[in-house]
Structure formats: C-alpha cells, structure tokens
Amino acid sequence: MHRKIIHMDMDAFYASVEQLDKPSLGKKPVIVGGITGRGVVCAASYEARKFGVRSAMPMKIAREKCPHGVYLEPRMGRYKEISNMIMEILQEYTDLIEPLSLDEAYLDVTENKKGLPYASIVAREAKKKIRQETGLTASAGAGPSKFIAKLASDHDKPDGIVVVPPEKVWSFISGMEVGKIPGVGLATESRLREMGIFKIKDLAEYPVEKLHDRLGKHGLFLSGLARGVDERPVYSHREIKSIGEETTFDRDLLLKEEIVPILSDLAGEVERRLIKNGKKGRTVTLKVKTGDFRNSTRSRTLPDPVFQRSELLSIVNGLIPKTSIGRERVRLVGITVSNFFKPAAYEQLRLFD
C-alpha cells in the first residue's frame, strides 16, 4: 500500500501574521527579518514578492528592491502562539506529524484519526479549519513520499492544494528544474548544470556511479529522489539539535578574501533558519574541506546564545586562523550552530522580541 504524505506549509507565515494582527498592513508589502546591520529577510508578504523580495535575501538588497515596504522585526512569541494552534489542528487528523519549523510540517495520513479515505480530503479539511481558527492560509501538497508532497505544496501557492498520486509522480517531476529539489542549493545546482543535468529527468537518467564520484552520498540520495525513491518516514518526535549551511565551490579556493564573502552569505542563511525555528545557540562550528578531501572543524562555545548574522560571522572570522583557509586550497566551507538555548517558559516569549 502506498503511503499518503501531506506537506502543510503556511503562506508567508511571519508576514501574514503581521498583516493579520495589523489590518492596516493588509495590502502593503511587509518584510520580516533582521532590520539592523547585515540581517536577512525571514519572510516577505506576497505584495513584497512582486518587487522581487525573497526569503534569505540580505535586507540591504530587499530595501533597494522595495524601499516603500514595511520592515518589521520578528515577533517569535506571537508566531509560536499561532504555530501551536496550527499543530493542534493537525493533531486532530494524525499523531504522525513532523514539524520542520514553526510554519510547515509533514503529516502521514495513510491511517488517520477520522478515517478519511483520501489525503486530498484530509488536506482540504485541515486547510479550511486552519483558516477558520487562525485567519491564515496554508498551501498543501500530498503524495506517496515526503519529496513529492513538498514539491506539490510548492506548486500552487498561496492557498493551494496539489495531490500527486503514485502513477502521476514521473509526469509531475520529470520536467522540473533540478533546483526545485529540496536540499539542492545554488552551488549544487551549478555543479549539476556543469554535468549537463538541468531537469529532474536528466538527473534520473544520469549514471549513478558518476553521480557518486562527483557528489558522494548526496549524489546517490538525489538520484533516488529523481527516480521517485524516498522512503524517509515521518518522525513525530523529531528534535532539531543543530542548524547549519555549507557549500562546495566550483573550483578550489586559496585566498581568504575569496572565501570570507561566501561565509558571510552562509551566516545569513543560518540566521534566517535559526529565526524561522525560534532557536539561539551557544556553539558555533566552522567546517572546512581541503582540496585533497580532508575535513576539519573548529568550534567556539559562548556564554550567551547567538543567532544574528553579524555575531556568527564575527565568531567564524575568529576561527579562520585555526583552519586551512588562506594556507591550502579549500573546496568546501560550512557554518553550524548548536547547543541550543532552552529558556524557561516565562522567557520564551521574549527570545527574539
């Protein structure tokens, strides 16, 4: 029996909450993120997206694209309050819920509490109830795996629902750009394009051995996804222990001056994900892989938790002299934050306020 997996994704969640709480913002471009220093966009309303503002974009660029936008600091306490309401609604249908962040989750509804025969019915009912109880819209995708459900939810936003039955998987994914695959960032997409892989069908047809040689285990995983193979279960008690980003260069880099701007971009993406997940961490780790494939990590544990891009980059710059950067050719760098801060209940609402 094929599984029935739903990916439920709130539409422009943080920005939508702000518009909900402040009706005067209803039709205005709203951008939520770190509004000082070198912050990044955490969420942009659909009005802001019309001007080219996107999640993870440096705030400086967002202001250039949309100077008349309304720029707001995240209110994590409020977002968590709404998120809890949404998760309670989803729990009416199944206990197999894997939250990915405050605004999205996977659900396994192969067997559901209400005995509904189709994932499409579950998704439609859940979306309707979320809107009734919170005033917010969600996009839902349903399919036989996490991978397909995620692609489906992205396919019709906002407030959409897309169902991909097992027999329609190949026709649904084969013509998509490889960059649509979750986990394929700009660096990986660039490498795949260099290999002549532009569409998911190209990836599915590419020799598995060559993919492994070029991309390692990640290449094998991507090959499986491209062929519709994804057996990952929905983990109902998944706990995020670290958040990180890394990138592999198109060519090995020697100069520190070439690498630091890339680390700055990674720090910005880590900041965005930390804010999205409501996390701060005390340990920052810099990962470096040299041209001859030697991995090394250097970490610093702090007395107080951090999450901002500027803080992360400052710590990473202090770790660079302890690595091969500037002395050997480097093919990969990464930044990870862990040792998450666990505030008392009364402190939780003020974590990012």
Q: What are the residues facing 138 on neighbouring strands?
A: 10
Find how far residue 119's CA is from the centre of its chain. 24
Residue with tokens 């009416």: 92
Active site residue 347: no
Give the Cα-Cα-Cα angle 350, 29, 22 (nearest 5 degrees).
Answer: 50
Place of tokens 């290449």: 219
CA 16 – CA 26 distance, rounded (Å)? 9
Say how far apart CA 228 and CA 32 lie, in whole Å: 35
Which residue type is seen at 258? E
If you write DSSP's letter for every residue of 230-299 in order, what string do you get? ------TT----EEEEEEEEEEEE--HHHHHHHHHHHHHHHHHHHHHHT--EEEEEEEEEETT--EEEEE
Strand-pair partners of 169:
none
CA distances, 135 to each of 16, 19, 82, 130, 153 (Å): 9, 10, 10, 7, 19
Cβ-based neighbour number of residue 20 at 10 Å: 15
Exactly one of 47, 98, 104, 271 is catalytic; which is it? 104
Strands (E), 94-220: 97-101, 104-108, 138-143, 161-163
Active site (catalytic) residues: 104
